[in-house]
Structure 1
Amino acid sequence: MPADSDTPTFFTRFSTQAVPRERQLLAWRDRVGHVVDVLPDKAQVERGFEGKIDLHAAGGLVFTEARTEALVLERSIARVSTDTRRDFAFHVYAEGETGHVGGVNLKRSEPGSVRGIVAFDLNQRFRLERPACRVLTMFVPRPIVAAHIGDCEALHGRVLSFDAPLAGFVLQHFDATARELPTLERPDAIDLLDAGAQLLLSAFAGKPHASPDARTALQTAVKAQAKRYVETHLHEADLTPMNVVDALGVKRATLYRWFEREGGLAAYIRERRLREAADELVRLPNLQIADIAFGLGFKSASDFTRAFRRAFDVSPLEMRMCALELLRAQPAGHLTRARAARSTGARGSG
């Protein structure tokens, strides 16, 4: 799924909290009205409406994170015939359920309101009665969907429970996407969104390993999940590669193979611990070096010192002294300079 290099990256944020209560639901309707109509009732208008939405766009893909109270959305036949939106919207319910989907031809086997994902073809009508939720939505251009799913029109209104193959990975990937997008540079944002789109399409196609793109997307998502697990548990002494395998529920050989470029999963964990140790040496100058070592799972101070010297060509004490000298010499922007000094001493360890 090649990204359009000429497409700009942009971000917007909106909340009804900045709007007078009697205008809140109407303001929300104006905000999302370029895609779907919000059907308010008088009581809902009078009591106010809580809703906020972040929107990110990069590489031809649009991703939103929204939190709202219960509401009714509709895309009518008249609306479909008068606007030009023809892409697909995939709603991933991180909190709450999919709600009642109407105005579409659903199979009897389709689940009702569940925790899961629902797909909408914006070239067709629908009505959605949605409970309060946190929903992560990706808009995927129609040509991309059609290239991966032959009868893409049949996706309209389909619901996938998070129990379905790949659906759980989609949720985890999108939840991470919502957290990480604000901090990413444009190429990384495009890669993250692209992997999410591939996972979505593979999940709905029911063929998670059918294409090289789908396999790459799955590898990207699972590997990112493994790295997040490592970051979360970095200070736990019993963090091991098998802990990661068990937590993710994937085959050990598969996950180990995906970390070959980093020298293996065990090497990746050690490298992250060493870099975290280097950062703590700078940030926490009063913390004993041995405490940093034990706090990051090293069995002894000597083992830590040997590993640290192999990674950075200096001892932990030497790095700390260098950082302190820089702090004294450069009071403005000192943390950035100290970290820069730390990184220049590091060997490329993958």
Structure 2
Amino acid sequence: MLANGIAYNRFDVSGLPPQQQLLAYWEQLGHIIEVVPSREQVRQSFICINNRYDIGEFRISDTYTDHVVIERTVARISRDNVRGIGFTIFLDGAAHLATTLARKREYPVCGGSVLATDFEQPIRLQRQACRYITLVVPANLLRHVFSDPWAIHGRALEPSRPATRLIVERARTLVENLRYMPFEDAHRRLAGLIELIADAFGEEAGLSGSKRAVGRALMFEYTRRYVRANLHGYELSPDSVVESLGLSRSTIYRLFEHEGGLGAFIRHLRLRAAADELVRFPNVPIKDVGYSVGFKSASDFTRAFRRAYEMTPQEMRLNDYRYPHAEWR
């Protein structure tokens, strides 16, 4: 605890033997994510310096690490209670790559970019050696812009945007001065930074910044509510949504372009619901779990689940996942 009342923790692996440094980093983050190393990486030295500050309901960290692949899997998500929205502000580095697993979409990011992740959805991040700031906030703080915070997952702010440059500069200044600020001042500045980030992502998604964006935001909220309310029905499809809500196909496409289309969004919601039920109800047959979330056959469910999460429903239930892209585990 700092003298100003801010909870502070520093984590540095430099005092450990080289072969223990990456594993120590893994253990530090193990309650949230998996680290996916190669055999060679484990044998080598690894740099990780993390300064974490807890300020009321907010958490902000200033970190430097070597190159690493990290992943938050659906198996972990369905077994823990870690929730919220994370913003990674890359201060340097190049050619980072984020992959949202269920949507099979890749998002290249570089120094000066801001990446948003929803802890309730799986993601894989190949991060080059860099310094970055991580900000974790409750999802409800974004609902004035994103009525469904799931929609922010995987979005990124480009470094060429003036708002992004302002966010990066304010975040850098904040973490470098937190230990000298009064608690109330630090909390106020952090809340202001979050507001700035939310507005920037809202504009990037076309949900704020103009009268037209307000109308789009209303359609965005209405459509997602309808899909969630009818998720378990076999008849739910892009065609049924278009017909029931009276929206044009072009409007639907624009609303769900980030998700890969409305069909992909429906499938993603069904698979996430199924993953939770596989863990919550271990004695229910897998085929019945698939039927309960709207899949029409057991084979369709298993095939879609494996394609999205790189594991079968049975492996997910048994927590028996092996990383096919890792050399050592």
TM beyond 0.5: yes
Q: Is residue 101–residue 128 contact of structure 1 (8 Å, CA) maintained in 2? A: yes
The one-letter amino acid paired with 1:194 is A
Match of 1:112 in 2: 108
Tell me the CA shift for residue 145 of structure 1: 1.9
Three-state SS of the structure 1 residue aligned to 2:23 is: helix
Answering whether residue 185 of structure 2 is matched by residue 188 of structure 1, we say yes
Match of residue 99, structure 2, among 95, 99, 102: 102
Match of 1:90 in 2: 87
| Counterpart-to-counterpart distance in 1, 2:67 and 2:135 | 20
**Percent of pairs with identical residues:** 27
Tell me the CA shift for residue 184 of structure 1: 1.2
Three-state SS of the structure 2 residue aligned to 1:143 is: helix
Answering whether residue 168 of structure 2 is matched by residue 171 of structure 1, we say yes
| Counterpart-to-counterpart distance in 1, 2:91 and 2:84 | 22
Match of 1:130 in 2: 127
RCO higher in structure (CA 8 A, sep ≥6): 2
Match of 1:156 in 2: 153
| Counterpart-to-counterpart distance in 2, 1:104 and 1:196 | 29
Match of 1:141 in 2: 138
Match of 1:344 in 2: none
Superposed, 1:14-53 pairs within 5 Å as: 14-53=11-50
Three-state SS of the structure 2 residue aligned to 1:173 is: helix
| Counterpart-to-counterpart distance in 1, 2:194 and 2:85 | 11
Change (3 A) 1:191 1:209: farther
The one-letter amino acid paired with 2:175 is A
Which moves more between the two structures, 96-105 or 53-62?
96-105
| Counterpart-to-counterpart distance in 1, 2:107 and 2:30 | 28
Give a deviation string over 1:193-246, Cα, whole Å, max 9, x none. Answer: 111111111110117768xxxxxxxxxxxxxxxxxxxxxxxxxxxxxxxxxxxx
| Counterpart-to-counterpart distance in 2, 1:89 and 1:113 | 15
Tell me the CA shift for residue 114 of structure 1: 2.7
Three-state SS of the structure 1 residue aligned to 2:41 is: helix
| Counterpart-to-counterpart distance in 1, 2:192 and 2:19 | 40
Q: Is residue 102–residue 122 contact of structure 2 (8 Å, CA) maintained in 1? A: no
Q: TM-score, normalised by structure 1?
A: 0.54
Tell me the CA shift for residue 104 of structure 1: 3.9
Three-state SS of the structure 2 residue aligned to 1:14 is: strand
Tell me the CA shift for residue 40 of structure 1: 1.7
Superposed, 1:190-209 pairs within 5 Å as: 190-206=187-203
The one-letter amino acid paired with 1:18 is G
Change (3 A) 1:11 1:33: same
Which moves more between the two structures, 49-58 or 149-158?
149-158
Tell me the CA shift for residue 151 of structure 1: 3.0
Match of 1:72 in 2: 69
The one-letter amino acid paired with 1:25 is L
Which moves more between the two structures, 128-137 or 111-120?
111-120
Q: Is residue 118–residue 159 contact of structure 1 (8 Å, CA) maintained in 2? A: yes
Match of 1:225 in 2: none
Q: Is residue 96–residue 131 contact of structure 1 (8 Å, CA) maintained in 2? A: yes
| Counterpart-to-counterpart distance in 2, 1:102 and 1:85 | 20
Change (3 A) 1:195 1:97: farther
The one-letter amino acid paired with 2:51 is D
Give the total of aligned pairs: 202
Three-state SS of the structure 1 residue aligned to 2:189 is: helix
Tell me the CA shift for residue 165 of structure 1: 4.5
| Counterpart-to-counterpart distance in 2, 1:17 and 1:103 | 32
Tell me the CA shift for residue 166 of structure 1: 1.1
Change (3 A) 1:105 1:160: farther
For structure 1, the residue ranges without an aligned partner over 5 or more in a row are 1-7, 211-350
| Counterpart-to-counterpart distance in 2, 1:38 and 1:183 | 33
| Counterpart-to-counterpart distance in 2, 1:74 and 1:28 | 14
Change (3 A) 1:11 1:98: farther
Tell me the CA shift for residue 69 of structure 1: 0.4
Change (3 A) 1:98 1:160: farther
Q: Is residue 106–residue 157 contact of structure 1 (8 Å, CA) maintained in 2? A: no
The one-letter amino acid paired with 1:184 is M
Change (3 A) 1:144 1:186: same
| Counterpart-to-counterpart distance in 1, 2:35 and 2:104 | 26
Q: Which has the larger radius of gyration?
A: 1
Change (3 A) 1:165 1:202: farther
Q: Is residue 104–residue 156 contact of structure 1 (8 Å, CA) maintained in 2? A: no
More helix by percentage: 1
